[in-house]
Amino acid sequence: HSTKAVAWEPNKPLVIEDVEVAPPQANEVRIKIVATGMCHTDLYILFESMKKESFPMILGHEAAGIIESVGPGVTEFQPGDKVIPLFISQCRECRFCKSPKTNQCEKGWIETQHVLKDSRFTCKGKKIEQFAGTSTFSQYTVVNQMAVAKIDPSAPLDKVCLIGCGICTGYGAAVNTAKVEPGSTCAVFGLGAVGLAAVMGCKAAGAKKIFAVDINPEKFEKAKVFGATDFVNPKDYDKPISQVLAEMTNGGVDYSLECVGNVEVMRSALESCVKGWGISVVVGWTELHDVATRPVQLIAGRTWKGSMFGGFKGKDGVPEMVKAYLGKKLLVDEFITHNMTLDQVNDAIELMKHGKCIRTVLNPFPQ
């Protein structure tokens, strides 16, 4: 039995429940979650997408923990290993895993309604669905070994949990997907953890100018810490932000990254790119609306791309990102604005809803 924050229905507070977590079956591991961040995608599922058929579920997908037990056939992990669960598996066998071009392993939950069917959770006689194949707002979760990355045993789990989503997502979108070049000019729309990690990625790739764009000016100070050089609040202008950026950059930026999840912003980000070679990456998540632009924007030589988990193959990329942090080549602590217990999960949701945090790290096992 284990304490978990269960989402019984969309648009309602999570409820702390005693949930039964069955032992791991063949090729599965049971993970004790030591720390979990909250990401905007958790809020999206609860308040925006609200696919009724996916509830009840346990949210959370950005975590770090310790292997508690392993099922038959597991050779890669043993109890005590420090790990990060992966919301994109890496089976190493499917045609997507075999291609260096993508991280879209086909063994995961991605083709389903956000949840991996056949979870190991039951509560009050009801099966509880496993969000993103992870469900980390919990003391224990059971995951297939292909969706787990083993990390350096010296890594502080209450920090590196953020490498399980937000940091890889934004950083990799800049470095792996946009492939930002030295000396370039970039614009990042949305300065939550994902956008700030994108700013950090642009800087690491050698960008000389990084515009940080947000409608909440409280985010600009943090963006400076991660390497932003210029700050733009669309609310300060009465013309389209793409026009504002074009005027500031002699025709547009070389790279833009949308880290909001709003189709209007996706369009602005694309149209903020310079013609000829500008690349815009969609990182923010939504399935609710179509995204549009005039074809001439693309005909003129702009490229529109998307990025999930920053293009990282998790088993390979996550341990490397943890190493980069331990080697002081990657900022992680700077994203954490709040620490709470899992019982306070609804307070953490309120903070994010109102733009009052970057990341809250939740502890499922408070003393």
Q: Which residues bind ligand NAD (CB under 6 A)?
A: 39-41, 44, 165-166, 169, 189-195, 213-216, 219, 234, 259-262, 265, 283-285, 307-309, 352, 355
Q: Specify the residue, 45 or 180, whose C-beta has the smaller distance to Zn ion.
A: 45
213 binds, among ligand NAD, Zn ion, none (CB under 5 to 8 A by kind): ligand NAD
Q: Specify the residue, 2 or 176, whose C-beta has the smaller distance to ligand NAD.
A: 176
Provide the strand spans (E) within the chain.
2-7, 15-21, 28-37, 57-58, 62-70, 82-85, 115-123, 126-131, 140-144, 148-150, 185-189, 209-213, 230-232, 255-258, 279-282, 303-306, 336-341, 359-363
Candidate ranges 14-22, 36-44, 182-190, 232-240; the one touching Zn ion (CB under 5 A): 36-44
278 binds, among ligand NAD, Zn ion, none (CB under 5 to 8 A by kind): none
Q: Specify the residue, 263 or 326, whose C-beta has the smaller distance to ligand NAD.
A: 263
Query: In 3-state terms, what secondary structure has residue 13?
Result: coil
Q: Specify the residue, 131 or 140, whose C-beta has the smaller distance to ligand NAD.
A: 131
In 10 A of CB 350, how many CB atoms? 12
Q: Specify the residue, 65 or 166, whose C-beta has the smaller distance to ligand NAD.
A: 166
Q: Specify the residue, 21 or 186, whose C-beta has the smaller distance to ligand NAD.
A: 186
Q: How many CA atoms lie within 13 A of 136 on its CB side?
A: 31
Question: Which of 165, 212, 321, 352 forms a contact with Zn ion (CB under 5 A)?
Answer: 165
255: left (phi over 0), alpha (psi -120 to 50) or beta: beta
Q: Cβ distance 222 to 334 under 8 Å?
A: yes
Q: Specify the residue, 196 or 273, whose C-beta has the smaller distance to Zn ion.
A: 196
Q: Specify the residue, 141 or 268, whose C-beta has the smaller distance to ligand NAD.
A: 268
Query: In 3-state terms, what secondary structure has residue 274?
Result: coil
Cα separations (Å) of 49 from 70, 112, 113, 160, 282? 34, 14, 10, 28, 18
Q: Does 59 bind Zn ion (CB under 5 A)?
A: no
Q: State how far the Cα of 317 lies from the Cα of 321, in Å rounded to an integer.
A: 6
Candidate ranges 37-45, 122-130, 153-161, 207-215; the one touching Zn ion (CB under 5 A): 37-45
Q: How many CA atoms lie within 13 A of 290 on its CB side?
A: 2
Q: State how far the Cα of 16 lies from the Cα of 13, in Å rounded to an integer.
A: 10
Q: Does 41 bind Zn ion (CB under 5 A)?
A: yes
β-pairing, 57-58 vs 148-150, is unpaired
CB-based closest residue to Zn ion: 39
Please name which of 172, 147, 5 lies closest in space to residue 85, comparing C-alpha atoms. 147
303 binds, among ligand NAD, Zn ion, none (CB under 5 to 8 A by kind): none
User: Rounded to the nearest whole angstrom, what is the least distance from the CB of residue 266 to ligand NAD in the complex?
Assistant: 10
Q: Does 180 bind Zn ion (CB under 5 A)?
A: no
Name 343's bridge partners.
none
β-pairing, 126-131 vs 115-123, is antiparallel
Q: Does 193 bind Zn ion (CB under 5 A)?
A: no
Q: Does 259 bind Zn ion (CB under 5 A)?
A: no
Candidate ranges 158-166, 181-189, 197-205, 249-257; the one touching Zn ion (CB under 5 A): 158-166
Question: Which of 14, 19, 21, 39 forms a contact with Zn ion (CB under 5 A)?
Answer: 39
Helix axes 263-271, 241-248, angle to 10 degrees: 20
User: Rounded to the nearest whole angstrom, what is the least distance from the CB of residue 251 to ligand NAD in the complex?
Assistant: 21
**For tokens 């000019």, what's the residue?**
185
Q: Specify the residue, 66 or 340, whose C-beta has the smaller distance to ligand NAD.
A: 340
User: Rounded to the nearest whole angstrom, what is the least distance from the CB of residue 78 to ligand NAD in the complex?
Assistant: 30
The residues binding Zn ion (CB under 5 A) are: 39, 41, 165
